[in-house]
Structure 1
């Protein structure tokens, strides 16, 4: 009877009622009683960044999986992250993720979920040939992503996710390890707390003392993870930080001339809860920059206050704001910028993405676009683009959840955690080209100029 009610609820859109994650849920065949057997799969998503709202047994080989919608917002169902245990060796299954809220998806283009297991703790993508994405008549014509998998080790716990997870705890461990290094040019502070009292961290990276006086330095502000399911943004952001705190000659010069302010996780509650787009209270924070509330959007409110305050300080030259995201339908890294009436300002705004193109083989200038779409008015890029003066540049940096095409390649190359971080390192080093900084101590080979046209290109604006 309960099953009947459940399926009726689903037909009427009742999956919105899925509010909690499955918790060590054993799924045995209907009508089965007795001791659980090996092969009666146990699903769990009650852990940090976990998401799986419900599992239906179809046959011993097939299971329907329902994504739990974002907390307080049934519109978004994309991110999933769950474990499976109590498997039988050589057990073959098909998992159908049946309630995606989006129609377009990179699953159409060869993307596949990631998997790891106890004995193989490094995440890897499933083979694309085992993944199918289609519109399903059985599920209100929703889009379904099915993937086939063969469990091979009985003792292992297997974990599946939409993309490589990067949790709040992982960030905290990473920042704590940076702090323990006592680097003189790195400062970590708590800018505020989220609704659930998680830290909003702010890093400041710059050389003090013998380098340029602070007032002559440029300031670059970078934020990430306003959309919690966009985990690649955290790997890109960590790549930026790793490079800037390193002993690389380029990093040392950048710290002499630039102050970097970085907020690595704008939406820590959403990340912790396993949401795709929203905060704890169901807000898409990237639509609330115009008027963030200190109680409903405290992290956004704190960051906006800081930026407004720095912008009013005549000693601060705030030149860049970059907000890092991940994109669910496009390939490569690319940027969104703003539209201006002043043609010269439009041209100047294109310089940084053009230079990044030269440094990062996975960055696409042809995907980069400049817009003033009404829907995007509450985003960081649009709001700050209107607030800051015309010597400042505001961008959204997007990176594909799936893969990139390089100039000479015929097939897409799937991103790994490492290649996401590499994009971050390349973003950081592009500031050297942008500001055309040089140093006597810096060996020329560190510039890695692959393209002799680079200098002519960058001075053309």
Structure 2
């Protein structure tokens, strides 16, 4: 401990972040804690890593897809029923393993009925009704202690029969628009395929349709997702998911591997930033080459965070790709560690991740609207993250902050930034340079034309806006689609985990370009942005005002509630869309 004399009193500070305590080389860092009433099965769900040999195409609608509507019939068979999300009015306390009473058992598999299960880490499924011999109506569980945010699903299916066309329909989504109507397919995993052929998660499904149904609640209409599928094996254990799962246990095992590595642990220090409401640990990583005694450089800082929204698992895969690269042995990774200090919070909302929430913490609130909150006990992870960044800024310049997210309505990967309506031309253009560089480094994944930089009042509690107001000029949210790309060679295909992980590398590559002492690339991008600005000014003069309003409205609707997503009527919409033409 280092004592510093500040404002008339001694203040204790850690000389550097401590290594993790309680780390076992043979297992997770700490037991996973659940709300006390949650039922949790003993079986530990694990999946192999795998990348398809060929890009997986999006689904092309035939126009003949069915729209099943299910009346509330008491004659149908309920084959799975979990506890309500709001069985308890609020979070009370947590326990390792959750509820200690004997688990309710599902129906006996005495016939050909499929068996369902989701009482495992990150699982989400509320109810399953068998409506026909091979047809099942499903509902997903809202975020705990809320009655909304139904988007994430992840569940197990057993007692399968090969060659049978099954239909699954999830009937309680609340978003009117979905990537499932733009070609996105559900994810499927077969344990027999994994064991026999080393095949992991794959995109599947036919007759896929997302549509408004005949149900609703509290004045809200519900929407259904339906698909058909044939299982590859009899008596298999299979899983369906909205996106590639990445659990809190996955993170802890990854951090354990770093901590037990004699090389990586020298320049990656892991400590506990805080504890969540359920007393799970929120970790912060400090990544930098240790300075020698005679080296007095004051390095600038870069901050990355992820998984404030638990259902946006794609953000964890991007984070993993970033960490794999920055902790690697390449010369560029070494240069980045020599040049910067990286502060990384890889999972801001572990409680939500554990229980299978889509958006909220156990406070029943969206943490990414509460970065301005003073309620440390209610929102500890964002409170301590903001405080950590504020203290860091007292010591050194933070050149970039980026919060990683997933997006449910748009394809590709893109960024939201902040300009606050500042019409200072130099600042206005500079804030767009890093996203433009990123689009050049991965043109088949990252869309500069989808980036926006306005600040809506409803977004003032988000991480990127709060950090920008604290003085970080380059403050971004990176949004990754749940679906895939409309760009280049990847057009019309889904992103897989390797695609998402590669964005971590491209982020590092773009950071090197942005801070390169040779400013050639920087000024080339600045020049390109200036040319775009000239085009947009010309468009404003020549373009029909009705068309402009239509374009702005479409952008507003497509970003609404997709994620952190600024609902933006950014006047630079045309500027951004011209990027590919200049």
Name the TM-score, length of structure 2 as normaliser.
0.69
Q: Verify the 8 A CA contact 1:24 1:43 in the aligned structure 2.
A: no
Q: Verify the 8 A CA contact 1:332 1:364 in the aligned structure 2.
A: yes
Q: Among residues 485, 504, 515, which one is paired with 1:404 in the alignment? A: 485
- The answer for the alignment partner of 2:158 in structure 1 is 85
Question: Using a 3 Å threshold, how does the CA distance of structure 1 residues 235 and 92 change in structure 2: closer, same or farther?
Answer: same
> What is the alpha-carbon distance in structure 2 between the residues aligned to residue 158 and residue 212 of structure 1?
58
Report whether the alignment pairs 1:271 with 2:271: no
Q: Among residues 48, 68, 76, which one is paired with 2:149 in the alignment? A: 76
- The answer for the alignment partner of 1:174 in structure 2 is 254
Name the TM-score, length of structure 1 as normaliser.
0.86
CA deviation digits over 1:66-111, x for unaligned, max 9?
A: 0100011212100000001122333321010000021111001010
Q: Verify the 8 A CA contact 1:360 1:426 in the aligned structure 2.
A: yes
- The answer for the alignment partner of 1:424 in structure 2 is 504
Structure 1 residue runs without a partner (length 5+)? 8-13, 27-34, 439-452
> What is the alpha-carbon distance in structure 2 between the residues aligned to residue 23 and residue 459 of structure 1?
62
> What is the alpha-carbon distance in structure 2 between the residues aligned to residue 258 and residue 154 of structure 1?
53
- The answer for the alignment partner of 1:386 in structure 2 is 469
Question: Per the alignment, in what secondary structure is the counterpart of residue 173 of structure 2?
Answer: coil
Q: Verify the 8 A CA contact 1:289 1:379 in the aligned structure 2.
A: yes
> What is the alpha-carbon distance in structure 2 between the residues aligned to residue 211 and residue 87 of structure 1?
64
- The answer for the alignment partner of 2:428 in structure 1 is 346
CA deviation digits over 1:284-308, x for unaligned, max 9?
A: 0000001142211111111111111
> What is the alpha-carbon distance in structure 2 between the residues aligned to residue 268 and residue 163 of structure 1?
17
Report the CA distance between 1:164 and its aligned residue: 0.5
Q: Verify the 8 A CA contact 1:223 1:266 in the aligned structure 2.
A: yes
Aligned length: 426
* Pairs within 5 Å for 1:106-185: 106-121=179-194, 122-127=199-204, 129-137=206-214, 142-182=222-262, 183=264, 184-185=266-267
Q: Verify the 8 A CA contact 1:123 1:164 in the aligned structure 2.
A: no
Question: Using a 3 Å threshold, how does the CA distance of structure 1 residues 43 and 23 change in structure 2: closer, same or farther?
Answer: farther
* Pairs within 5 Å for 1:326-365: 326-340=406-420, 341=422, 342-361=424-443, 362-365=445-448
Question: Using a 3 Å threshold, how does the CA distance of structure 1 residues 351 and 281 change in structure 2: closer, same or farther?
Answer: same
Report the CA distance between 1:144 and its aligned residue: 0.7
Structure 2 residue runs without a partner (length 5+)? 1-71, 77-82, 89-97, 530-582
Q: Among residues 524, 539, 548, which one is paired with 1:457 in the alignment? A: 524
- The answer for the alignment partner of 1:368 in structure 2 is 451
- The answer for the alignment partner of 1:290 in structure 2 is 372
Report the CA distance between 1:180 and its aligned residue: 1.1
Report the CA distance between 1:125 and its aligned residue: 3.6
Report the CA distance between 1:36 and its aligned residue: 3.7
Report whether the alignment pairs 1:434 with 2:514: yes
Moved more, 80-89 or 93-102: 80-89
> What is the alpha-carbon distance in structure 2 between the residues aligned to residue 213 and residue 421 of structure 1?
34
Question: Using a 3 Å threshold, how does the CA distance of structure 1 residues 323 and 137 change in structure 2: closer, same or farther?
Answer: same
Q: Verify the 8 A CA contact 2:276 2:380 in the aligned structure 1.
A: yes
> What is the alpha-carbon distance in structure 1 between the residues aligned to residue 442 and residue 276 of structure 2?
34
> What is the alpha-carbon distance in structure 1 between the residues aligned to residue 497 and residue 152 of structure 2?
17
Report the CA distance between 1:253 and its aligned residue: 0.8
> What is the alpha-carbon distance in structure 1 between the residues aligned to residue 515 and residue 413 of structure 2?
22
